[in-house]
Every structure is written in C-alpha cells, then in structure tokens.
C-alpha cells in the first residue's frame, strides 16, 4: 500500500503523461459484466448483500479517474522552492495553533504510539490542509473504476473490497465515502486497506471516523507511522552545516554512519554548535547537492517517511515541516538556487545516462532515485564532487 500514497496529497503537483506499457493497456469487456462478477466476489468474501447492493448498484465507470491515473502525478520542483510553497507562514501558524488546541489529544497519542505532535501535524497539513481539503470523488466509484481498469486491477480490487467493509462495519456511512480520486479517505488520506487494518477509534464513540473526528484521524496516522517502524523519542531529520568539504559520495540515504562520524568530518548543528558525538545512526541528505541545505536523516526518516510517500521531495518537505513545528529555524538556503537543471535539461540528462547503460526509468524529467544514483556514478567517473545533484556542467560533459 505504501507506494500508493504517492497519489495522495492535495498539494500542487504537475502531471506528466505516463510512458510505461501499462498506461497503454486497453480495457476489454463490459464494465457492468465486470461489476456483476465483482459483486459475487464481494459476497464470497463475506460482505452482506445489503451493503453490496447499496454501494454498487448503478455505479458507473468514471473516465476522469482513469485520466488522472494515466498521468503520473509527480513533484518536480527543487526542495527549496517546493518546501517554501508547502511550508508557508499560514500553514505553520495554523499547525502551531492546532497543536495547542489539541494538546491533550496529542499527549495521549504520543503516550500510546510514541509519535510526537509535530510529525502528525505536518502530514495532516500537507495531505488535506488539516482536514479542510479531503477530495470530492465518490470513493466507491473511483475504486470500482480503477479495479476494472486494466492498468493495476490487482492493487485496487482489494481496496474496493475494504471500502465495502468500512461501510459494512459502520465506520463511515455510504454517503460519507467521498475523498481523493484514487480512493484515499479522511483528514490524512488513508487508503481503505490501511483504514481497515490500522484505523482506531480514539474519541470512543464506537466508530473509526477519519473524516470528521480529528482524534480518530491523528491517532490512526500515529498507529500507521508506528507500524512503519517509528522509534519513540528519536529524531527524524535535523538541519546541519558543513564546515568543510567531505567525501560527497557519503551523502546518500543508503549510507548511514554514527553521528560521531559525521561530527568528526566537520558537520555541526544548524546553529553552529557541536553535534552530540554518539552512535545514533544518520545519513547525510543533501536534497539540492553540496551547495544547498543539508540534513542528517535519522532512522525514523529513512524507515518511515518514504513509506508514507515514496517521493523524496515530499518526504523531505514533510519532515522539515515537522521540525519547524517542533521549533527549528527556517532552513539555510545555501547557494544552490539556480544551479540545477530544468525539466527539459533533466530529460536530456536522463537520455544521456540511459545511453550509457544506466537504468533511469522513464525519461520524464523527474530527478528520482534512479537518476540520482546514475548522476552520482558519473560524477565519480569524471572526478566531480559526487553529491548526486546534476548541474549544467555535468550535462555538458555527458554530451
């Protein structure tokens, strides 16, 4: 399920036409015949006839949903620009206010699940603007469409069954099954299967209502985050400063060192004070290369954030937002602004890397994990600082 959360987020994204073979698949067979078969399957899985008929009778195929799904929703901006927009003054103020207003709920949640208020509040703000923007698509219709559609039926069929279970169980009424286009529901955009497996009734009214109950939505998010492997009382990311050049190839989410090691390489806290020299594991995250902002990414970041949303840009922004809500200063901008490549240049870079045998995935202009890895390998080969951040200079040399 985790990788699917990438579809969530009411936040601004640009869409790129999908180029994979899946996107070009053709639907064969009639939707109504498919629906009849699906109803039989739902009944065989123990959903009552009453719920099946109430939810699925007269449901139609939604072309808009398929159109969304055949585009790839991606975040393309560089970290400083994206986080500047997402973590703006009004979101920060609103987040801080809501943490105060819900202080006793947050305390109870942290006691039970170990996840602190700023972490939950940042996701809450990014996903739905704290519950205000939850989506307007019929969940049942969206999921029936995606479960019928040829592209990824195996992913959405179980989601549709679980959506019926949510209604059957009485957590949400059928008319409340309204949310994002890919079936996510509630204040922190849960997919129905996460909802069924993980959601909790935290306000004690007997229903798990992630739409209207802030307590239910936040505690359920905490339960999900704990299940991803959150370690209570541990940090997630921390902005740092580099006082000298290091071996840039060490700046890689896949490489963790004890904090004492980073300290010995001249890395200090953002305020210039020394890092605690202990064994806490961390990776060095340079979202815009060596001239941009720098963070130590602790195990909570590496284990949890990328499961909530597989986009590194979204994850870094959510984690940074949480640090701001916890009292951190605005990020140091560095001098990385303007040193990166635009969408067209990134596509040229991807083609050049692909022709050298690197697997960069689709030529989509998106700086994802595959492209970063290939960039790093080429930087090593050319003897350039291997910080995985592509520059016009690297593009020139590849040509």
- Integer Cα distance of 132 and 286 in angstroms: 32
Interface map 134-153 toward Ca ion (x if CB under 5 A):
--------------------
Q: How many CA atoms lie within 13 A of 373 on its CB side?
A: 12
Of the pair 189, 309, the CB lying nearest Ca ion is at 189
Closest CA to 8 of 223, 211, 189, 193: 189
Of the pair 208, 324, the CB lying nearest Ca ion is at 208
Of the pair 200, 297, the CB lying nearest Ca ion is at 200
CB of 66 to Ca ion, least distance (A): 34
Of the pair 110, 201, the CB lying nearest Ca ion is at 201
Interface map 192-211 toward Ca ion (x if CB under 5 A):
---------x-x-x-x-x--
- Integer Cα distance of 254 and 20 in angstroms: 27
Interface map 347-366 toward Ca ion (x if CB under 5 A):
--------------------
Of the pair 178, 215, the CB lying nearest Ca ion is at 215
Q: Which stretch binds Ca ion (CB under 5 A): 1-9, 105-113, 156-164, 213-221?
A: 213-221
Element (H, E) at 295: strand 294-298
DSSP string for 200-249: ---SSSSS--TTT-HHHHHHHHHHHHHHHT--TT--SEEEEEESS---GG
Under DSSP, is residue 314 helix (H, G, I), strand (E, B) or coil?
A: helix
CB of 212 to Ca ion, least distance (A): 9
Of the pair 82, 202, the CB lying nearest Ca ion is at 202
Position among 102, 139, 213, 221 found at the interface with Ca ion (CB under 5 A):
213
Q: Which stretch binds Ca ion (CB under 5 A): 41-49, 214-222, 232-240, 248-256?
A: 214-222
- Give yes or no for a contact between 6 and 71, defined as CB atoms under 8 angstroms apart: no
Residue with tokens 């006839």: 49
Total site size for Ca ion, rule CB under 5 A: 7
Of the pair 96, 212, the CB lying nearest Ca ion is at 212
- Structure-token pair, residue 202: 């935290």
CB of 4 to Ca ion, least distance (A): 25
Residue in the shown chain whose Cβ atom is closest to Ca ion: 201
DSSP string for 267-290: EEETTSPBPP-S--EEEEE-TT-T
CB of 169 to Ca ion, least distance (A): 12
Q: What does the DSSP 8-state code read for residue 161?
A: H
Position among 216, 238, 299, 364 found at the interface with Ca ion (CB under 5 A):
216
Under DSSP, is residue 135 helix (H, G, I), strand (E, B) or coil?
A: coil
Cβ of 127: how many Cβ atoms within 10 Å? 28
CB of 308 to Ca ion, least distance (A): 22
Cβ of 142: how many Cβ atoms within 10 Å? 29
Q: Does the footprint of Ca ion cover residue 110 (CB under 5 A)? A: no
Of the pair 149, 216, the CB lying nearest Ca ion is at 216
CB of 207 to Ca ion, least distance (A): 5
Of the pair 179, 334, the CB lying nearest Ca ion is at 179
Rg (CA), the chain: 23
Q: Which stretch binds Ca ion (CB under 5 A): 133-141, 150-158, 212-220, 344-352?
A: 212-220
Closest CA to 238 of 313, 157, 318, 319: 319
CB of 170 to Ca ion, least distance (A): 11
CB of 215 to Ca ion, least distance (A): 7
Of the pair 220, 339, the CB lying nearest Ca ion is at 220
- Integer Cα distance of 288 and 355 in angstroms: 25
Closest CA to 235 of 308, 302, 288: 302
Interacting residues toward Ca ion by CB under 5 A: 201, 203, 205, 207, 209, 213, 216
């Amino acid at each position: 399920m985790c990788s699917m959360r990438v579809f969530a987020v009411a936040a601004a994204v640009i869409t790129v036409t999908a180029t994979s073979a899946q996107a070009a698949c053709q639907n064969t067979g009639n939707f109504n015949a498919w629906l009849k078969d699906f109803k039989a399957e739902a009944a065989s899985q123990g959903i009552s006839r009453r719920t099946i008929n109430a939810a699925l009778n007269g449901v139609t195929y939604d072309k808009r949903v398929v159109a969304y799904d055949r585009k790839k929703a991606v975040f393309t901006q560089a970290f400083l620009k994206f986080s500047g927009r997402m973590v703006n003054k009004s979101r920060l103020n609103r987040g801080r206010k809501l943490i105060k207003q819900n202080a006793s709920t947050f305390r109870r949640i942290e006691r039970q699940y170990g996840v602190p208020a700023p972490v939950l509040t940042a996701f809450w703000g990014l996903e739905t603007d704290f519950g205000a923007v939850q989506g307007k698509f019929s969940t049942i219709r969206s999921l029936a469409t995606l479960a019928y559609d040829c592209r990824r039926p195996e992913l959405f069929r179980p989601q549709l069954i679980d959506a019926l279970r949510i209604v059957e169980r009485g957590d949400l009424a059928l008319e409340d099954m309204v949310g994002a286009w890919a079936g996510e529901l509630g204040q922190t955009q849960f997919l129905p299967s996460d909802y069924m497996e993980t959601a909790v009734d935290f306000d004690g009214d007997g229903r798990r209502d992630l739409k209207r109950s802030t307590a239910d939505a936040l505690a359920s998010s905490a339960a999900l985050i704990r299940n991803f492997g959150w370690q209570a009382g541990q940090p997630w990311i921390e902005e740092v400063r580099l006082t000298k050049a290091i071996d840039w190839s060490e700046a890689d989410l896949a490489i963790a060192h004890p904090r004492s090691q980073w300290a010995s390489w001249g890395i200090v806290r953002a305020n210039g004070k020394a890092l605690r020299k202990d064994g806490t594991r961390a990776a060095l995250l340079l979202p815009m290369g060596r001239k941009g902002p720098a963070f130590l990414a602790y195990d909570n970041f590496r284990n949890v954030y990328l499961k909530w949303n597989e986009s590194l840009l979204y994850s870094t922004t959510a984690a940074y937002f949480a640090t701001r809500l916890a009292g951190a200063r605005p990020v140091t901008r560095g001098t990385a602004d303007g040193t990166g490549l635009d969408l067209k240049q990134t596509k040229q870079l991807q083609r050049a890397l692909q022709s050298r045998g690197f697997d960069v995935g689709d030529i989509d202009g998106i700086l994802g994990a595959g492209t970063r890895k290939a960039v790093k390998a080429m930087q090593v080969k050319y003897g350039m600082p291997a910080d995985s951040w592509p520059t016009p200079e690297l593009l020139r040399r590849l040509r």
